[in-house]
Amino acid sequence: MPARPARPCTHIGCTALCRDGTGRCPDHPKEAWAKAATAPRRITGRKLQELRKALFRAHPLCVLCLEAGRTTAATERDHIRPLSETGKDLPTNEGMQALCHDCHEAKSRAERARAAR
- pLDDT tens track for 34-92: 877 877 788 899 999 999 999 999 999 999 999 999 999 999 999 998 887 877 887 77
Q: How far apart are CA 97 and CA 78, in angstroms?
A: 5
pLDDT of residue 13: 92
**Nearest by Cα to 28 from 41, 38, 14:** 14
pLDDT of residue 39: 76
Residue 105 pLDDT > 90: yes
Are 58 and 97 within one domain? yes
Global pTM value: 0.66
Please state the domain count of the chain.
Answer: 2
Residue 73's domain comprises 45-116
Find the helix or strand (DSSP H, E) in which 110 lies. Answer: helix 101-116
Are 68 and 95 within one domain? yes
Which residues, in sequence order, are CB contacts of 42 under 8 Å at separation 6+?
Answer: 83, 89
